Amino acid sequence: MENRSLARPLASHLPPSQSPAIPWRLWLERLQIIVMLAPALAVIGGLFMGGLGLALLQSFGYLPLIGRNEPSLAAYHHIFGQEAFYRSLWLTCWIALTSTAQSTLLAILCALALRRIARGQRWLNFLFQLNIPIPHLVGAIGILFLFSQSGWLARLAYLAQLIDEPADFPALVFDPYAFGIILEYVWKETCFIGVILLAVLQSLGEDYEDVARTLGANRWQRFRYVLLPLLRRGILSTSVLVFAFSFGAFEVPLLLGQRYPSALPVLAYRYYTDADLNARAEAMALSVIIAVAITVLVYVYLKLAGRET
The pLDDT score that the predictor gives to residue 22 is 54
For residue 177, report the phi and psi dihedrals to the nearest 5 degrees. -100, 5
Q: Is residue 254's pLDDT more than 80?
A: yes
- Measure Cα distances from 187 to 99, 100, 181 in Å: 9, 11, 10
Query: pTM of the predicted model, to two decimals?
Result: 0.79
8-state DSSP, 166: G
Catalogue all structural domains in the chain, each as residue range(s) with its CATH number: 2-59 (no CATH), 75-308 (1.10.3720.10)
- With bands split at pLDDT 50, 70 and 90, how would you rate the model's confidence at 305? low
Supply angle C-alpha 265, 192, 263, rounded to 5.
15
- With bands split at pLDDT 50, 70 and 90, how would you rate the model's confidence at 106? very high
Higher pLDDT, 55 or 119: 55
Phi/psi-derived region of residue 169, left when phi > 0, alpha when psi is between -120 and 50, beta in every other case:
beta
Higher pLDDT, 122 or 56: 56
- Measure Cα distances from 163 to 70, 144, 175, 179 in Å: 60, 19, 19, 20
Q: Over the stretch 130-184, which tens digit does the pLDDT of each residue have?
A: 888 888 888 889 888 888 888 888 888 888 888 888 778 888 888 888 898 999 9
Contact 285, 75 (CB under 8 A): yes
- With bands split at pLDDT 50, 70 and 90, how would you rate the model's confidence at 8? very low
According to the 3-state scheme, what is the secondary structure of 226-251?
Answer: HHHHHHHHHHHHHHHHHHHHHHHCCH
Q: Is residue 17's pLDDT more than 80?
A: no
